[in-house]
Structure 1
Amino acid sequence: MAHEYGKKGEELIYWDAKEQAIVANWIDVEDHWFEPPAMKLILEMVIKPKNGLAPDQGVVAEAEAKLGHVLDVYETQLSKFKYLASDKYTIVDVIHLPNLQSLMGMPAKELIESRPRVRAWCSEILARPAWAKVLEMKHKAQAYAAS
């Protein structure tokens, strides 16, 4: 995706092996540490209630604790760089967008908002024009499906 859609001057990946290794490391962090508790929270707090089921508060508490630890690491990393992998917006930031969007619409957003650097990073990447376009397309698709 990054190779295909990155723009000249705004590449989402690096060609330098060391810089790309850093990006790959943060992709792994998102995949193995951020996404699992984020998805548990989304399942418990969004999907289950939409299907008439009550959230399991024990699962919610455990997922919030795990996500909080990850966000503490992010807060430290974001004290060094504007974005997670560097001072450049990369694919690492892109892959966080769907889960961040969901988390910001639920009580778990306090986990993000209570960490100033994470809050600023999240606000900035969620406000990017390309993400707004994705959300617009999603809303149009949902409206079409509902009609």
Structure 2
Amino acid sequence: MGSVNVYGPTLSTAVSRVLACLIEKEVQFQLINVDMSKEHHKKPDFLKIQPFGQVPAFQDENIFLFESRAICRYVTEKYAEQGNKALYGTNLLERASIDQWLEAEGQSFNPPSSTLVFQLAFAPRMKLKQDPAVIAQSEEKLGKVLDVYERRLGESKFLAGDEFTLADLSHLPNTQYLVHNTDRSEMFASRKNVSRWWEEISGRASWKKVVEMQKNPTPA
């Protein structure tokens, strides 16, 4: 089996999404840190594999990919017969359900949650001014999305059905920051079904390993 490389810092939400997927699928990989503070992601060699100068970048032998959700889909397809075989469904209907909730994550959940993560968790560390209006607007949008999730998770154990899938995994990075690194954890705790779901998915061994990697990041 060839070498799988993931380029990017573990603290990146997109990088940690890919790492969780690889661990779920029991794919051996090498994590290559990209020091964003030194603008390593803007250097010509890196731009050859990630043209937008962002993270993650992903290499599987002679294949290069970017965009974390696309990488996760690729990993689950190529390594379908190992690790968690239900991660991207086992039939057409299951996969369609996973895809629709992945789209919901990318289009509805991610924009406001990413904004809140930046404003509440990262801006203070970077000594940047927070924008109260943006925070309030994003909190309102995220609350509406979580209300939809609350209803859905009252009908099924996980978003796409009764198995943990990419649809759930994709929510782990941003929610981790909001629950543990901001004062907005009540947005999840106050919704019974969402709270139960979060406890379940964040307790998976794969995600616990990613969190440990974030605490002990790879040196640049």
**TM norm. shorter chain > 0.5:** yes
How big is each residue's C-alpha offset from its partner over 1:60-91, in whole Å with a ceiling of 9 and x where there is no partner?
Answer: 10000000000000000001100011000001
| Greater mean deviation of Cα atoms: 28-37 or 47-56 | 47-56
Partner amino acid, structure 1, of 2:76: A
Moved over 3 A (4+): 5-10
1:65-84 counterparts in 2 under 5 A?
65-84=140-159
Are the structure 2 counterparts of residues 137 and 36 from structure 1 closer, same or farther at C-alpha, using a change threshold of 3 Å? Answer: same
Residue of structure 2 in register with 1:33 after alignment: 108
Trace 1:41-120 onto structure 2 (pairs within 5 A): 41-105=116-180, 106-120=182-196
For residue 138 of structure 1, report the CA deviation from its aligned partner.
2.1
Q: Secondary structure at the match of 2:88?
A: coil
Report the counterpart of residue 202 of structure 2 in structure 1: 126
Amino acid of the structure 1 residue aligned with 2:208? A
Q: Which runs of 5+ in 2 are unaligned?
A: 1-74
C-alpha separation in 1, matches of 2:125 and 2:211:
20
The TM-score, its normalising length taken from structure 1, stands at 0.90
Question: SS of 1:104's equivalent?
Answer: helix
Look up the SS of the partner of 1:15 in the other structure: coil
Greater per-residue strand proportion: 2
Could you tell me how far apart the structure 1 residues matched to 2:81 and 2:165 are?
Answer: 9
Superposition TM-score, scaled by structure 2 size: 0.62
Report the AA paired with residue 207 of structure 2: W
> Is the Cα–Cα contact under 8 Å of residues 112 and 119 in structure 1 kept in the other structure?
yes
Work out the CA distance in 2 between the residues paired with 1:108 and 1:130: 24
Unaligned runs of 5+ in 1: none
Output the CA distance in 1 between the equivalents of 2:209 and 2:80: 15
Name whichever of 45-54 and 8-17 sits farther off. 8-17
Q: Distance in 2 between matches of 1:6 and 1:36?
A: 33
Count of residues paired in the alignment: 144
Asked if 1:2 corresponds to 2:81, the answer is no
For residues 139 and 9 of structure 1, the distance between their equivalents in structure 2, rounded to whole angstroms, comes to 25
Contact conserved, 1:48 with 1:55, CA < 8 A, in 2? yes
In terms of fraction of residues, the more helix-rich structure is: 1
Q: Quick check: which has more Rg, 1 or 2?
A: 2
Whether the 8 Å contact between 1:2 and 1:11 is mirrored in structure 2 is no
What amino acid sits opposite 1:117 in the alignment? N
> Relative to structure 1, is the Cα distance of residues 42 and 5 closer, same or farther in structure 2, using a 3 angstrom cutoff?
farther
Secondary structure, aligned partner of 2:155: coil
- What's the C-alpha RMSD, in Å, of the aligned pairs? 1.7
CA distance 1:130–1:9, shift in 2 (3 Å): closer
